[in-house]
Chain A
Amino acid sequence: MPTLELHSISKTFTTSAGPVPVLDRLSMQVAAGEFVAVIGPSGSGKTTLFNIIAGLERPDAGAVRIDGVDVTGRRGQVAYMPQRDALLPWLSVIENAVLATVVQGGDVAAARREARALLADFGLQGWGDARPALLSGGMRQRAAFLRTVLWHRPIMLLDEPFGALDALTRAQLQQWLLALWDRLDRTVLLVTHDIDEAIILADRIYVLTPRPARIALELRVELPRPRSYTLVTDPAFARLKRQLQQVLMNGERG
């Protein structure tokens, strides 16, 4: 049984120019412990999809199920990392990291201890009491990721988590996430428009069509783990990349 299941999700927005269908009977499954990436052309409804899974928006039709339970429109069920870090500027790194525990009324003191213990793994050793303004872009993103991990949900949604970073920092963070990933034991759904990122990180990739989004391709990434960034020069990597590019290009034309 998949941990996260999207069953025939449809969503249409009403605008002044008429109805705009964004998602069209979209279905996907993510197994427990799996890392799944969703790639799509920009404006293909990736963010709407994430809002629906996070419970921020309701689909017109279809259901979101976690471990078989219908959680459509319910918030706080999955951990969510937005593209921009959304760190609160008046809180320290630690206080930002434990925000979900504060909102959900959990044991904040225990969460703070856990956050401190994880600082080193997140490359934030010595920065726990610093406010976000002092942090570099890569550090801010890692702090946001720490906050997502300390949300304590088995499923994490990552919405283009490295999209706003420069190429070098992004590559460093992907490498870091790969190393961290093997120890985390979480289920991940990653939205990205970066093909390399999807192949390096994911077990499986869904490619979406332009609006209204349907699944254009489902691809299993048969590359051995642990992976590293050197994969990008591997022939198998190049084959997968070509395949994905073709589907994305055709999709854009159609």
Chain B
Amino acid sequence: MSEEVSAPIPATPSVGHTRLSWRTGLAEYGPPALLVIGLLLVWEGLVWYWEVPAWLLPAPSQIVTTFVTSLPVLAEHTTATLTVTIPGFALALAAGFGLGVALDASPLLRRAIYPLLVTSQTVPIVAIAPLLVVGFGFGLLPKVLVVALITFFPIVVNTIDGLQGADRDQRRLLEAMGANYWQLLRLLRLRAALPAIFTGIKVAITYSVIGAVLAEWIGASAGLGVYIARSLRAFRTDQVFVAALVTSLLTIALFTLVSLLERWIVFWKGER
């Protein structure tokens, strides 16, 4: 007994912590980094050796040069893409979360709407997107809607799963305390659902930039999608690669941001 009732363990990490994590980092990211560098070198060598024309496959060195020289133009297009991505994702988050809570609350609503939700995901977005442009014009709205349509589904599904996955014992305890629906939601179920909701958000944010690029491709005056379409018409394959690279980096950056937010908000996850 006396052993259990000791003072709390100090939360400060040991002195060797930083060096250890640096080594772990090298062990984790070293091999993939080496592999990527190796592949780039092979790519560069083959393009040079076979004298592959630039419109078919540009060398990595040329892509880097294009990237640097077209930075001002890229910045403009990237800003345009983000102006579509962020509101679209925000809309998906609000609608997806709200719908998830509503569908969890009403079994009737869930039975009625859930199949429609799944069906909405089976319709190819390339078929819907032009219709949206026809309906809502060439402004921001149709593109925001395309991003929202692509990204809201994982958020709805994970919100419902998370809300229904709250621990049974904890739920019964709160019920025995006399908690009503809203107290159960506020004190237990929304908190318990957060890890699942973040899983949905991470899937959704991964699709969001691609969704925006796709929407711009179909009808826009600026954005990475427009840049890719123009570059393809001009046989500027190097610019297509650069746009693809920026799209990837943007997605990775947003994903990392969400992961950091998750660690901050779902602070108790992984403690047990």
Listed in ascending order, the chain A residues whose CB lies under 8 Å from chain B are 51, 54-56, 75-76, 80, 82-84, 86, 88-90, 99-100, 102-104, 123-127, 130-134, 136, 138-139, 151, 172, 176
Q: Is B9 an interface residue (CB 8 A)?
A: yes
Chain B interface (Cβ < 8 Å from any Cβ of A): 1, 4-5, 7-9, 167, 169-170, 172-179, 183, 187-188, 191, 267-268, 271-272
Q: Is the interface of B mostly helix, strand, loop or mixed?
A: loop
Alpha-carbon distance between A139 and B183 when the two chains are bound, in angstroms: 27
Q: Given A103-B187, A126-B7, A126-B8, is A133 in contact with B174 using a C-beta cutoff of 8 Å? A: no
| Cross-chain contact A99 with B5 (CB below 8 angstroms) | no
Cβ contact of B177, chosen from A88, A99, A131, cutoff 8 A: A99
In the assembled complex, which residues on chain B have CB atoms less than 8 Å from the CB atom of A51?
172
Contact across chains for B177 and A151 when beta carbons are under 8 A apart: yes
A139 neighbours in B (Cβ, 8 Å)? 4
| Bound CA span A135–B219, Å | 57
A34 and B175 alpha carbons, distance in the complex (Å):
26
- Give bound CA distance, A55 to B170, whole Å: 16
A131 CA to B9 CA, complexed, in Å? 12
For B174, the chain A residues whose CB sits under 8 A away are: 99, 103
Most chain B CB neighbours (cut-off 10 Å) among A82, A88, A131: A88
List residues of chain B with CB within 8 A of the CB of A75: 175-178
- Chain B residues with Cβ below 8 Å from A76 are 176-178
- Contact partners of A86 in chain B: CB under 8 A: 167, 169-170, 172-173
Q: A51-B172, A89-B268, A127-B8 are in contact. List 14 more A-B contacts (CB 8 A).
A: A56-B175, A75-B178, A82-B169, A82-B173, A86-B167, A86-B169, A86-B173, A89-B271, A90-B268, A99-B174, A102-B187, A103-B183, A123-B4, A134-B9
Do A103 and B179 touch (CB < 8 A)? Answer: yes
Expressed in whole angstroms, the Cα–Cα distance for A136 and B8 within the complex equals: 11
Q: Chain B residues with Cβ under 8 A from A55's Cβ?
A: 176
